[in-house]
Amino acid sequence: MSQHTILLLQKTKDKKSRTYMDCNNVSLMIDQVINLYEVKLKESNINRREINYTASDLLNYIDNVGDLACMVLDVNSGTYIPHDREWIKQMNHTGDLMEGISLNIIVAKTAKNGIGLNNILPWKIKRDMKLFKSLTTSNNKHQGDSDFQNIVIMGRNTWDSIPNKFKPLKDRLNIVLSRNTAFQQLVPPKVQVFQSLEASLNFIKKKSFQNKNIWIIGGSQIYKEVLELNITKKIFLTHIYNEVECNTYIDLKLDKFRLIKDAEEIGIVLKNYFLDGEEQDEFKFNHVFEEDGYKFEFLLFNRD
C-alpha cells in the first residue's frame, strides 16, 4: 500500500468549514496512534504538521481527529483525491439526517453477540425470518406509490451467504458493498454494487424515492461502520437466548439508543412500517418466543 502525506492545515471549531480529502480503503485506526498524535498536536500547538501513514491508517486518522482541517496528498502521484465522506460528516455534526431517509439496522444475535458461523446463519427461526421479510419489504404495502422503495444494504460475505434461489432478495433494491471493482459483473443487473457505504448512501440520496427505507442487513463490519456514523434511527434486534456456536460477532453499542418498552409506542412504530394489528400480534416485541428449541425475543431500539 502506498504512503500518503497528511497536511494538517489548521485547527478549527467550525466543523462545517473543514476540508477533507480522501483516498481508498478505510479500516480502523489504532487508538494508541490517534491518542499519540492528538497529544503531540495539543502540546506543540503547531498548526501545520506532516505525518506519513499508509492509506487506511491515514483516512482513519482524519476521521477520528475532530478538530483539524485536513487534505490528503498522494505523494506518489502528487494528486488529491476527493473525500466522499464529507456530506456524512456534515450530517453528523448538524444532526440533520438525510431528509426522507430512514436508516435501520436489522440483526439477530446471541447473548454472546454471535451472528454467524462460517458465513452462514447458524439457526433457523421461521418467525424471525418472517419478521425480516415483513419489515424489509414493508413499502410494498404502500399501494399506488411506486416511489416507495425497499432498500437492503449488505456486505459481500452476506450476499454470498444468501442461497442462490433467493438472490437477489425479492421486492427490494439489493445493494452490495465490495472493494472488488469487478464484482458488479458477477451479480444480476438490478443489483447495485459500491465500494463504500458512503457511495451507496450518496446514490440513494440522489434518487427520487419518496420514502427511502434503508435496511442494513450485515455483516459485522458494515454494522460497525453504520453505528460509528451515527445515522441509524432504529435497531430491530432478535435476541437469541440459546448458546449457539458462532465465529462471527457483532459489537452492538446501544448506549445512544433507547429500548422501547411501551406497547403503544411500539405499535406506532410498526404501523409506520405498514405492519397491521395482526402482524403486530404475530411479532410481539419484548416477549420471549419458543420455536424448534430456540428461545428468542424481538427488541426495538430507537435513537431519540
Give the residue-averaged pLDDT of 146-156.
Answer: 83
Q: CATH number for the 101-302 domain, one of 3.40.430.10, 3.90.1300.10, 3.30.565.10, 2.60.200.20?
A: 3.40.430.10
Contact 238, 108 (CB under 8 A): yes
Q: pLDDT tens-digit profile of 254-291?
A: 999 999 999 999 999 998 887 877 888 899 999 999 99
Contact 253, 224 (CB under 8 A): no
CA distances (Å), origin 297, targets 18, 28, 184, 284, 288: 44, 32, 37, 9, 5
| pLDDT at residue 273, rounded to an integer | 82
- The b/e string for 108-143 (b: 16+ C-beta within 10 A; e otherwise) is bbbeeebbbeeeebbbebebbeebbebbbbbbeeee
Domain edges within the chain: 3-83, 101-302
Q: Give me the half-sphere count of Cα atoms (radius 13 Å) on the Cβ side of residue 233.
A: 14
Dist. CA 122–CA 109, nearest whole Å: 10
Q: Out of 29-38, 80-89, 203-212, which region has the weakest mean confidence (pLDDT)?
A: 29-38
Q: Give the confidence band of 194 by pLDDT, cuts at 50, 70, 90.
A: very high
Q: Give me the half-sphere count of Cα atoms (radius 13 Å) on the Cβ side of residue 106.
A: 21
pTM above 0.85, yes or no: no
| pLDDT at residue 104, rounded to an integer | 94
Neighbouring C-beta atoms of residue 70, cutoff 10 Å: 21
Dist. CA 253–CA 263, nearest whole Å: 24
**Percent helix, strand, coil in the chain (nearest 5)?**
35, 30, 40
For residue 102, pLDDT beyond 80? no
**Residue closest to 204 by CA, chosen among 106, 107, 98:** 98
For residue 100, pLDDT beyond 60? no
| pLDDT at residue 132, rounded to an integer | 97
Contact 175, 154 (CB under 8 A): yes
| pLDDT at residue 228, rounded to an integer | 80
Q: Which residue has the higher pLDDT, 78 or 172?
A: 172
| pLDDT at residue 36, rounded to an integer | 40
% residues pLDDT > 90 (the chain): 42
Dist. CA 162–CA 50, nearest whole Å: 46
State whether residue 257 is helix, strand or coil: coil
For residue 23, pLDDT beyond 60? no
- Locate cell 440459546: which residue? 242
| pLDDT at residue 193, rounded to an integer | 95
Pairing of strands 148-155, 114-116: unpaired
Mean pLDDT score of the chain: 74
- Locate cell 446463519: which residue? 121
Q: pLDDT tens-digit profile of 71-86?
A: 444 445 544 444 444 4
Give the residue-averaged pLDDT of 175-181.
Answer: 90
For residue 19, pLDDT beyond 80? no
Measured over all CA atoms, what is the biggest interatomic distance in the chain, rounded to whole angstroms? 64
| pLDDT at residue 301, rounded to an integer | 98
Dist. CA 23–CA 4, nearest whole Å: 9
| pLDDT at residue 164, rounded to an integer | 92
Q: pLDDT tens-digit profile of 230-262?
A: 788 899 999 999 999 999 999 898 999 999 999
